[in-house]
Structure 1
């Protein structure tokens, strides 16, 4: 398991569970969390982030609903297999990914210009 680069900004209007969900979704979408990579337990991530376990559990539930992670008794929580690539991406999914990335970047303290710079760099 790699050390997760997840941060929570307690001054952000975005709820902590959403910050965690968005950042993990972005790490998965970009491949920084690979298929079958094990995530920390709810309890461990809650301790690491200084959050209540229910907050992390909600983020994990939403990631499971989105089929980005899977939890199996005895095997822990792991990154799910990516869906098959499509030739024409769904605009709603692109909007969601952009929202997730933006929320994760803002939680790290990035301003709009830094976010745009990071996106341009990633596209090159």
Structure 2
């Protein structure tokens, strides 16, 4: 049996643990490390390994399922889908993330131009 990739959650990261985990699993699926049909570890196993609540991991799996990356079936566990995931630009999750960012930025008082500049700066890898 192939060893499952190591997952980590950093308590110092302001990103919620379920989102840190979701990003890592999504990346592993997109790059082919986790192949179609491959079973993800049980919720309790990941929760125990990472010191998280089972509900946190369950939310991660629900988010991945909503994005079409995994499928959960009672008695079969959660498996990576065989269907290629939708392109990121078509993803409702990407739009939700962008909407959340814009709302937070506006709460800080940022104007449209400052929000766009911040996104460009991040995309360009500039600090």
> Same-fold call, TM > 0.5?
yes
Q: Which structure has the greater CA radius of gyration? A: 2
Give 2:54's aligned residue.
Answer: 53
Structure number with greater CO (CA < 8 Å, separation at least 6) is: 1
Distance across 1 between alignment mates of 2:65 and 2:44 = 17
TM-score, with length taken from structure 2? 0.65
Give 1:10's aligned residue.
Answer: 11
Counterparts of 1:15-94 in structure 2, within 5 Å, are 15-83=16-84, 91=89
* Runs of 4+ with deviation above 6 angstroms: none
- The unaligned stretches of length 5 or more in structure 2 are 98-124
Give 1:119's aligned residue.
Answer: none
Count of residues paired in the alignment: 94
How many angstroms does 1:84 deviate by? 7.6
Distance across 2 between alignment mates of 1:29 and 1:63 = 12
CA RMSD of aligned residues (A): 2.3
TM-score, with length taken from structure 1? 0.67
1:91–1:60 CA distance, 2 compared to 1 (3 A)? closer
